[in-house]
């Protein structure tokens, strides 16, 4: 099978040298992407199209997979599946065209669009009329409509070679990946950040990924999964880095030292400070976030300006004016929504009365009491993995006990319940469990204190929704502390988290 790849129109209007450069980059990207699936692919670039030739012995299923891949490569406007045959006359052209297109035009309006190059005894219009008459004779239920056809029968004749256009599929558009430089996208696993990264990929920007881990191994595994999907589906021609920064200590320091209403803005400022450091080390000039105006309290114009002021790199926000539903619709179209829908909500910093217009002087005064050595420690503990390894199966997590209800709890010997909510939440709604020792250790201090608790008891973690306690228990199990479980308020179960 041979495919013709039409260039995105924004490429075709560039100067000759820029267009040639972009076409060469696109050919290389197509070659790199397809050869991950099949080594015998050939890609040839010309002025207005790329010609892709697949091995003749390729199974039909693999051929469909590669065709689908072509529609997701940035820079391609249209993917044409073609077949080239020998043809020297109008009648020969009809012999090839009619059997192929007759089923497609049955009961529908159609027109023939022919392109002809070389010396022939007939014109392009003659070719269109002859083929149109032959198709009508073969399928009387069809009719010709030159202005509003339902089916366009595309024919290209170059010399004595007739190129049959078997199908047309829209491409992704945009620019070839890599021609517009590099950026570092902050990803969290929700709807917004993968869509923001995808928009950068489509515009030809080689995009690396930065993740701030607030929820332990389970949180990181989920974000790795969606990032690998995004990379493999839309940018596999370039291998990039996925950097993970453990941010639980930073969250703990914010909760200790920052006033309630400023926590969200300060958290984002700490993130862009770290992102600037990571980008500087890799010589990446831009940061990318999924912020949209007024979606949450930290995304008002005033607060976005405060966040920008903490960054040493410019921050691009491709979703800044989009509605949430528009973002979700795009996430469904690029197939990242299913990951966001399964991702547990996790935010270690939730202000009860957040400032939508945080005063800059108060933010600076609050940060004066912040221990920035914690931020340095987070940067030093960052890990980097190449995107092509994100799909490797993670180590199976251990089992943790989930106990539902005080009746089941009373049956357990030597057990304590740890309320991991914030102190103000514990004070407002105390956890009362008669005859069961209860400890109060905020989640942001648990990882440090857990190793010092007596190992001859079982500990069940409690929080309002159960999400944070599950993540913390899994994180402790990953460190080898297997005597921590989860307390809820129903029947007891044993589950693999």
How is residue 119 written in tokens?
């010396």
Helices (H), 209-262: 216-234, 248-257
How is residue 116 written in tokens?
């002809």
Helices (H), 334-490: 337-342, 360-368, 372-380, 406-410, 423-428, 443-449, 467-478
Query: Which residues line the annotated binding site for ATP?
Result: 186-187, 268, 290, 299
Given its phi and psi angles, is residue 418 left (phi above 0), alpha (psi -120 to 50 degrees) or beta?
A: beta
- Phi first, then psi, for residue 486 (nearest 5°) are -130, 135
In sign, the C-alpha dihedral spanning 132, 133, 135, 139 is positive
Burial label, 386 (beta-carbon count in 10 A; 0-12, 13-18, 19+): exposed
**206 has which bridge partners?**
182
Catalytic residue among 25, 347, 438, 463: 463
CB 274 within 8 A of CB 307: no
Distance CA 181, CA 286 (A): 9
- Coil vs helix vs strand at 179: coil
Cα-to-chain-centroid distance, residue 419: 35
How is residue 316 written in tokens?
């691009």
* Exposure of 308 in the CB half-sphere (CA atoms within 13 A): 14
**485 has which bridge partners?**
460
Catalytic status, residue 463: yes
Helix (H) or strand (E) holding 18: helix 16-34
* Exposure of 294 in the CB half-sphere (CA atoms within 13 A): 3
Q: Annotated active-site positions, please? A: 463
């Amino acid at each position: 099978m041979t495919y013709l790849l039409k260039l995105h129109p924004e490429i075709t209007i560039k100067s000759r040298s820029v267009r040639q450069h972009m076409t060469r980059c696109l050919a290389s990207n197509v070659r790199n992407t397809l050869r991950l699936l099949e080594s015998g692919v050939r890609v040839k670039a010309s002025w207005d199209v790329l010609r892709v030739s697949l091995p003749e012995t390729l199974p039909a299923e693999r051929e469909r997979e590669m065709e689908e891949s072509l529609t997701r490569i940035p820079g391609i406007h249209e993917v044409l599946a073609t077949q080239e045959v020998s043809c020297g006359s109008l009648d020969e052209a009809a012999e090839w065209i009619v059997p192929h297109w007759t089923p497609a035009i049955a009961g529908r309006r159609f027109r023939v669009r022919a392109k002809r190059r070389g010396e022939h005894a007939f014109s392009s219009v003659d070719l269109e009329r002859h083929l149109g008459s032959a198709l009508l004779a073969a399928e009387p239920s069809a009719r010709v409509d030159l202005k509003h056809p339902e089916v366009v029968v595309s024919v290209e004749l170059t010399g004595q070679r007739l190129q049959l256009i078997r199908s047309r599929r829209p491409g992704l558009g945009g620019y070839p990946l890599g021609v517009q430089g590099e950026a570092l996208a902050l990803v969290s696993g929700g709807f917004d950040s993968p869509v923001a990264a995808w928009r950068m990929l489509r515009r030809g920007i080689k995009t690396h990924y930065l993740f701030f881990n607030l929820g332990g191994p389970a949180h990181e595994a989920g974000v790795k999964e969606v990032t690998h999907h995004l990379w493999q589906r839309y940018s596999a021609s370039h291998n990039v880095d996925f950097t993970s920064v453990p941010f639980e200590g930073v969250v703990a320091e914010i909760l200790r030292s920052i006033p309630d209403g400023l926590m969200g803005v300060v958290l984002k400022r700490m993130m862009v400070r770290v992102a600037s450091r990571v980008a500087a080390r890799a010589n990446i000039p831009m940061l990318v976030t999924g912020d949209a105006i007024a979606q949450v309290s930290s995304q008002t114009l005033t607060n976005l300006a405060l966040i920008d002021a903490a960054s040493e790199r410019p921050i691009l926000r491709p979703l800044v004016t989009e509605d949430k539903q528009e973002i979700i619709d795009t996430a469904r179209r690029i197939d990242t929504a299913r990951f966001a829908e399964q991702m547990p909500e996790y935010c270690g910093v939730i202000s009860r009365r957040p400032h939508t217009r945080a005063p800059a002087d108060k933010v600076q005064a609050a940060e004066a009491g912040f221990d920035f050595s914690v931020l340095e420690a987070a940067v030093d503990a960052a890990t980097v993995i190449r995107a092509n390894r994100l799909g490797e199966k993670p180590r199976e997590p251990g089992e943790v006990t989930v106990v539902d209800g005080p009746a089941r709890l009373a049956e357990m010997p030597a057990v304590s319940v740890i309320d991991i909510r914030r102190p103000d939440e514990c004070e407002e709604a105390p956890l009362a469990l008669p005859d069961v020792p209860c400890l109060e250790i905020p989640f942001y201090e648990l990882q440090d204190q857990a190793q010092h608790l007596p190992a001859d008891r079982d500990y069940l973690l409690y929080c309002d929704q159960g999400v944070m306690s599950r993540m913390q228990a899994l994180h402790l199990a990953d460190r080898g502390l297997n005597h921590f479980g989860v307390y809820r308020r129903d029947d007891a179960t044993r589950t693999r988290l």
